[in-house]
């Protein structure tokens, strides 16, 4: 396991890896309708007179350092098909969907209350189909059977994301990781993040697993992975071998 060195570049945390093709931390992807100059991020475009009204999810991303770091670190591309496991009704929904253009965002959460809250909070994105939310446990997903009319077939997603979802460390998540391995397309990435604090300060907020534990479970499930840290936040980026 290798921890990556984190440095500041152009206002963004960047992770420079020594591994092949493993650099992450590209500036945020362009958001439709926004004028984001090359070399600057979404946050920098807020308040620009040329940019026009700011959709709430973009303003949210500018405000939320945790999810801004997460979106940067997982190196979202505009066309990515993203599955988030356990988004609750958190700002990750707006931040991730806001970083996509032709891609898609599907959130799967087992809590009916959380899905209802998320549908209300992100009603505008749900209405235009940029966000789809499914009430189900990840363990209920099947490759050969749509859930809520959504197919979860083999190779459906480029990125699978989970933030503060305990199932990945409180027991060996053998079944879940086997499913995620199949759901990811070639070159896809599973991104697990923990921590509720800031990427800038190390004050611990909320429980976190050790990166060794996560990497060990991922290794046993056939993923190559590496840990990334910033302040209170821990991420593990994993690719099927």
Ligand X SMILES: C[S@@+](CC[C@H](N)C(=O)[O-])C[C@H]1O[C@@H](n2cnc3c(N)ncnc32)[C@H](O)[C@@H]1O
Residues engaged in binding ligand X (CB under 6 A): 85-88, 90, 92, 108-111, 114, 137-139, 163-165, 167
Beta carbon nearer to ligand X, 36 or 107: 107
- For 211, phi then psi, to 5°, come to -65, -30
Closest CA to 125 of 147, 99, 153, 156: 99
Nearest distance in Å: CB 96, ligand X: 11
Pairing of strands 233-240, 223-230: antiparallel
Cβ(111)–Cβ(88) under 8 Å? yes
Cβ(94)–Cβ(63) under 8 Å? no
Q: In the chain, what's the furthest Cα-to-Cα distance? A: 51
Beta carbon nearer to ligand X, 45 or 92: 92
Beta carbon nearer to ligand X, 85 or 100: 85
Sign of CA dihedral 114, 151, 123, 27: positive
Residue nearest to ligand X (CB): 86
Nearest distance in Å: CB 163, ligand X: 4
Nearest distance in Å: CB 53, ligand X: 27
Beta carbon nearer to ligand X, 36 or 125: 125
Nearest distance in Å: CB 7, ligand X: 25
Beta carbon nearer to ligand X, 139 or 212: 139
How far apart are the C-alpha atoms of 186 and 37, rounded to whole Å? 31
Nearest distance in Å: CB 234, ligand X: 12
């Amino acid at each position: 396991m290798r921890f990556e060195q984190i440095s500041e570049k152009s206002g963004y945390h960047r992770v420079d890896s020594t591994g092949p093709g493993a650099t992450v931390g590209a500036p945020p992807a362009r958001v439709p309708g926004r004028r984001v100059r090359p070399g600057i991020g979404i946050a920098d475009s807020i308040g620009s007179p040329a940019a026009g009204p700011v959709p709430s999810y973009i303003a949210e991303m500018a405000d939320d350092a945790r999810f801004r770091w997460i979106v940067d670190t997982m190196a979202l591309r505009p066309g990515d098909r993203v599955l988030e496991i356990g988004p609750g009704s958190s700002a990750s929904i707006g931040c991730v969907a806001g970083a996509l253009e032709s891609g898609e965002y599907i959130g799967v959460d087992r809590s009916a209350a959380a899905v209802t809250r998320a549908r209300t909070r992100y009603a505008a994105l749900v209405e235009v189909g940029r966000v789809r939310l499914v009430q189900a446990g990840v363990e209920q997903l099947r490759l050969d059977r749509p859930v809520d009319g959504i197919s979860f077939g083999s190779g459906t997603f480029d990125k699978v994301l989970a933030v503060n979802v305990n199932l990945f460390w409180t027991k060996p998540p053998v079944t879940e990781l086997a499913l995620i391995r199949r759901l990811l397309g070639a070159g896809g990435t599973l991104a697990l993040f923990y921590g509720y604090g800031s990427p800038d300060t190390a004050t611990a907020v909320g429980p976190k697993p050790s990166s060794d534990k996560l990497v060990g479970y991922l290794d046993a499930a056939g993923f190559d992975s590496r840990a990334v840290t910033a302040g209170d936040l821990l991420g593990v980026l994993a690719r099927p071998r």
